[in-house]
Amino acid sequence: MKYNNKKGRRIAKDEVEKKKKIIIRTFITIVSIIILCIIGYIANDYIILGKNKTTNLVINNTNVTENLKNDIFIDGDNIYFSKEDLANFFDKYIYEDEENEQIITTYEDKIATIGFDENQIEVNGSEVSTYAHAIEKDESIYIPITELKDVYGIEIEYIQDTNIITIDSIAREQKKAISNGNLAVKSSTNFIAKTVDRTKKGDYVIVISDDGKNAKIRTLNGKIGYVKSKKLANTVITRQNIEEEKQIEEKVNLVWDYYSQVATAPDREGTNIDGINVVSPAFYHLNNDGKLEENVGEEGQAYIQWAHNNGYKVWAMVQNAGSGMMDVTSEIMNHYDNRQNLIETIIDECMKYDLDGINIDFENMKKEDVDLFSRFIIELEPRLKEIGVVLSVDVTAPDGSDTWSLCFDRHVLGDVADYLIFMAYDQYGASSDIAGTTAGYDWIELNIKKFLEIYEVEGEKLILAIPLYARLWTLDSNGDIEGQTAIPMNEINESIPTDAERNWDDELKQDYVEYADGESTKKIWIEDINSLREKVSLINKYKLGGVASWELGMETDDVWQMIKQELSE
């Protein structure tokens, strides 16, 4: 019994010792936490934005210092960014024009050039005096971003005390509040968080977000952190979001209204085309001297008035059609001044005739000019945006010939232009040595997928252009092609024998007809309301931006109602 009592007392003593150790460890932990909090509270400069020791950069309340490719260079009031960093943060298409020794940059509705010698920039065709110019430093080109504030639509500030540059887009919403006390700004909302900065009572801060409990703010020193929401007062929106309004909210339903360069615009008075919202008349073409010639006249002005009276937008077509135009087009694309002269003419014409859009239909171009054609579109787009004019660009199916297909960078064009129009024809065209359909469903769908998946064109920016015609092929007794004729769909029934058998091809989604004509064989893949309905159904299937039809006058009476119905589903 005594032995058991001793054992009990020993166990009780061990338990007391254990409890003492737990209490001591807990006390040490609490003291350590308190010490860390005090250190964090006092050391309000403990955190610097970014890991490097160079100037820190905050763009739209996000620390992007680690994304800098080169150091920022500051000379007095001028802040220089490298060309690579401007490309990374603002203009991925920034361009060095070696011929004219200048940098060309575009952003939203501005295009600017800045040289290496004179303190001057040109913005949308107007010269502006500056305090700095582009320079070469450490094997990189540096550009004074402080001189491009109006081009990029930004506010920029260098806070010398903290070596931070803040840049804010003036098109983005901004909220400000007043600190209602001397606050410690924390690195996170955790209970234990380092102090980033301090605010004084009455300081203005930028409110980045606020969940009602904690607010993420940017201080006057440019530092970002958290405070309790209740510690802020008088939160107001000091700048609203500026959102671009689309000219056409619904899906585009465009029809090309083509007439030759020697004809006048058609008289459409009294005509109403159910469902369409855009007409694209053949108003402009390049001549052999590379100048833009208009084919508007009084008839064209009456046409514009008719279109606007019916609620249609007018996206005038600009063509480089005609023999010998490949070299002419190349000469324009290869020189900045030539591109700008054409752009200025287009802008003047848009304003002269109150045009709503421009449809660039440049075909048969040199493959080696692919990037320069993209430059033309990159430089045209902001000028048109400035005056509220829509830019659409026609392109062919990918993976074709050098001058018909590989002359387009569909990724860049689709990224820059308001709309990219896929001319889904001719799958087998006039120069083909094989008789085939003008536009098979399976071929169109395959190429739509290429636009969306390979070239990363946004679906809502891609317009599917369909043919309102088919080709009637003539083959000799050996099966070789003797010739072909493009036939408007409203003349197809009269062009083939009434007893000719029609066979539905479920891959092409159209009827096929073959019949004997003397010693020759005729073949035609018919475009009618059924084949077109299948093609148009792809627009909703892939959430595309709309449809375009080539060309007005070739259709049957039921086409417009069908397209209208398909687009509304």
Provide the pLDDT for residue 2: 42
Q: Are residues 311 and 436 in the same domain?
A: yes
Q: Are residues 154 and 275 in the same domain?
A: no
Of the three residues 125, 159, 193, the one that is the final residue of a domain is 159
Provide the pLDDT for residue 567: 97
Provide the pLDDT for residue 13: 59
Which among 106, 36, 120 has a CA at the least distance from the CA of 416? 106
Q: Alpha helix locations (H) across 52-206?
A: 83-89, 149-152
CATH code: domain of residue 211? 2.30.30.40
Over range 267-291, report the average pLDDT: 97
When pLDDT is cut at 50, 70 and 90, the band that residue 527 belongs to is very high
How far is Cα 271 from Cα 525, in angstroms, rounded to an integer?
A: 30
Over range 168-187, report the average pLDDT: 97
Over range 18-35, report the average pLDDT: 64
When pLDDT is cut at 50, 70 and 90, the band that residue 321 belongs to is confident
- On the CB side of 198, how many CA atoms lie within 13 Å of its CA? 11
How far is Cα 563 from Cα 569, in angstroms, rounded to an integer?
A: 10
Taking all residues of the chain, what is their mean pLDDT, rounded to a whole number? 93
Which among 257, 193, 253 has a CA at the least distance from the CA of 226? 193
Entry pTM: 0.90
Q: Are residues 129 and 223 in the same domain?
A: no
Q: Are residues 342 and 201 in the same domain?
A: no
Q: Are residues 288 and 435 in the same domain?
A: yes
pLDDT exceeds 80 at position 48: no
Q: Are residues 70 and 151 in the same domain?
A: yes
Provide the pLDDT for residue 63: 95
Q: Are residues 414 and 356 in the same domain?
A: yes
Provide the pLDDT for residue 55: 87
When pLDDT is cut at 50, 70 and 90, the band that residue 239 belongs to is very high
First to last CA, the chain: 94
How far is Cα 166 from Cα 554, in angstroms, rounded to an integer?
A: 58
Which among 124, 127, 143 has a CA at the least distance from the CA of 135? 143
Of the three residues 215, 239, 263, the one that is the final residue of a domain is 239
When pLDDT is cut at 50, 70 and 90, the band that residue 32 belongs to is low
Provide the pLDDT for residue 34: 54
Using alpha carbons only, give the angle 543, 547, 553 rounded to the nearest 5 degrees. 165
Q: Which amino acid is at 306?
A: W
Which sign does the torsion angle of CA 301, 307, 311, 312 carry?
negative
Provide the pLDDT for residue 116: 98
- The strand pairing partners of 471, in sequence order, are 486
Provide the pLDDT for residue 39: 46
pLDDT per position as a tens digit, 445-473: 999 999 999 999 999 999 999 999 999 99
Provide the pLDDT for residue 40: 44
How far is Cα 90 from Cα 483, in angstroms, rounded to an integer?
A: 53
For the ranges 17-21, 114-118, 262-266, 357-361, the lowest mean pLDDT is seen at 17-21
Which among 398, 276, 282, 380 has a CA at the least distance from the CA of 336? 380
Range of the domain at 224: 173-239
Over range 193-222, report the average pLDDT: 97
Residue 83 lies in a domain: yes
Residue 327 lies in a domain: yes
Residue 212 vs residues 104, 209, 216, 462: alpha-carbon distances, Å: 45, 9, 11, 42
Residue 358 vs residues 184, 260, 371, 387, 389: alpha-carbon distances, Å: 55, 18, 20, 12, 7
Displacement of CA 22 from its chain's centroid (Å): 63
Q: Are residues 435 and 310 in the same domain?
A: yes
Residue 257 lies in a domain: yes
Residue 42 lies in a domain: no
CATH code: domain of residue 74? 3.30.457.10
How far is Cα 178 from Cα 155, in angstroms, rounded to an integer?
A: 21
How large a percentage of the chain has pLDDT more than 70?
A: 91
When pLDDT is cut at 50, 70 and 90, the band that residue 474 belongs to is very high
C-beta separation of 208 from 99 below 8 A: no
Which among 264, 258, 247 has a CA at the least distance from the CA of 549? 258
Helix and strand numbers (H, E) in the chain are 12, 35
Provide the pLDDT for residue 21: 66
pLDDT exceeds 70 at position 416: yes
pLDDT per position as a tens digit, 50-60: 344 468 999 99
pLDDT per position as a tens digit, 147-170: 999 999 999 999 999 999 999 999
Over range 119-123, report the average pLDDT: 98
Q: Are residues 407 and 458 in the same domain?
A: yes
Provide the pLDDT for residue 44: 37
Question: What's the token pair of residue 20?
Answer: 């003492």
Of the three residues 205, 239, 273, the one that is the final residue of a domain is 239
C-beta separation of 349 from 294 below 8 A: yes
Provide the pLDDT for residue 569: 86
Displacement of CA 349 from its chain's centroid (Å): 25
Give how many domains the chain has, as a whole number: 3
In the numeric block, the tokens 């936490």 are attached to 33
Residue 308 lies in a domain: yes
Question: What's the token pair of residue 380?
Answer: 């045209």
Provide the pLDDT for residue 42: 41
More confident residue, 195 or 18: 195
Collect all residues with Cβ–Cβ distance below 8 Å to 50 and sequence separation of at least 6.
Answer: 56, 57, 63, 65, 66
Over range 507-527, report the average pLDDT: 98
How far is Cα 282 from Cα 518, in angstroms, rounded to an integer?
A: 40
Provide the pLDDT for residue 120: 97
Over range 215-242, report the average pLDDT: 97
Q: Are residues 342 and 460 in the same domain?
A: yes
How far is Cα 460 from Cα 355, in angstroms, rounded to an integer?
A: 22
Q: Are residues 295 and 397 in the same domain?
A: yes
Q: How many CB atoms lie within 10 A of CB 554?
A: 22
Residue 270 lies in a domain: yes
pLDDT exceeds 50 at position 279: yes
Q: Are residues 287 and 150 in the same domain?
A: no
Residue 445 lies in a domain: yes
Residue 163 vs residues 56, 66, 169, 347, 471: alpha-carbon distances, Å: 6, 15, 20, 43, 69
CATH code: domain of residue 283? 3.20.20.80
Residue 556 vs residues 155, 493, 511, 566, 567: alpha-carbon distances, Å: 56, 11, 16, 16, 18
Residue 124 vs residues 66, 148, 358, 505: alpha-carbon distances, Å: 33, 13, 18, 53
Residue 501 lies in a domain: no
C-beta separation of 300 from 259 below 8 A: no
